[in-house]
Amino acid sequence: MPASQPRSRARDRNNVLNRAEFLSLNQPLKGNQESRSSSRKQSGQAGAAGAQNTNPKERRQSQQLPEEDCMQLNPSFKGIAFNSLLAIDICMSKRLGVCANRASSWGGARSMINLLGITGHGIPWIAGTLICLVKSSTLAGQEVLMNLLLALLLDIMIVAGLQKLAKRKGPYDITPGLLDYLTMDTYAFPAGHASRVAMLSKFFLNHLVLAIPLRILLVLWALCVGFSRVMIGRHHITDVLSGFVFGYLQFRLVELIWMSSNTCQMLISIW
């Protein structure tokens, strides 16, 4: 044992790595270790405090931001096509709004266009149908008028419900009139006037005996009333076209639930 100890000491003395200039390679200084450990602890505590201070909504938003950026930077073909058609619709509707205000190119004709729009409003048609129903004395006339009244009421409710769901504004910031508030026609999609005139024209063409000139005038009246809403800036072109489609579908619905003469007589007697 005494002989082995001097040998090990001599071996350690001859080892180059045990010199002072190489000690840092084998054993790092305690001060460096402590500073590094303290800095890591402080950064970990700061990160934990920051994570606790952030709300769950903010963390959720930060996680969702990369996906949203990718969706915006890489839109789908359907999204590009839809946005392009929407931009074209808005641009064309603004150009056709020649009577949107007094300063427009056709601003002097605004009162006449508004008068044309009133002919397709729901309140005058409901009031006129009620007056004709009171004065009617034939069973066939009362049957047609009762179903017409049902169609008008359905049109107001369906269009008002669709407008509340879509909540689309018109191309111009125009305040709806009193009659529009009464029929809840305050939004742009679909156009209530367009759906009503389409339904009325189809109803009259099917249930009234009219000459060919009157049939042509009826169709032209429906088209003029529909596109007059674009001219005064209340609706887009797609709003009017969709209104025509919904008006035809409403007519088909009334035909399916058509009330017979006996049902109409029973309702009239209750009323």
Classify residue 58: in a domain, yes or no. Answer: no
Name the band, by pLDDT with cuts 50, 70 and 90, for residue 59.
low
In a domain, 81, yes or no: no
Residue 214 has pLDDT above 90, yes or no: yes
pLDDT given at position 7: 58
Specify the range with the lowest mean pLDDT, choosing from 111-125, 144-158, 170-184.
Answer: 170-184
In this prediction the pTM is 0.69
Each residue's pLDDT tens digit, 172-212: 877 777 777 877 788 888 999 999 999 999 999 999 888 99
Domain-located, residue 115? yes
**How many domains does the chain contain in total?**
1
In a domain? residue 44:
no
In a domain, 100, yes or no: no
- pLDDT for position 233: 87
- Residue 205 in domain: yes
Q: C-alpha distances in angstroms, 216 versus 18, 53, 126, 210? A: 111, 71, 24, 10
Mean pLDDT of the chain: 78
235 is catalytic: yes
- For residue 68, the model assigns a pLDDT of 41
Active-site residue (options: 121, 193, 207, 236): 193
| Pairs from 147-152 (Cβ < 8 Å, separation ≥ 24) | 147/254, 147/258, 147/259, 147/264, 148/203, 150/254, 150/257, 150/259, 151/199, 151/200, 151/203, 151/250, 151/251, 151/254, 152/122, 152/125, 152/126, 152/196
Catalytic residue status for 193: yes
Position 69 scores a pLDDT of: 42
Distance of CA 253 to the CA centre of its chain: 25
pLDDT single digits (tens) 3-42: 555 555 655 555 545 555 445 545 544 444 554 555 555 5
Q: Which residue range(s) make up the domain with 239?
A: 107-270
Within a domain: 94:
no
Asked if residue 56 is part of any domain, the answer here is no
pLDDT tens readout for residues 82-97: 788 888 888 888 888 8
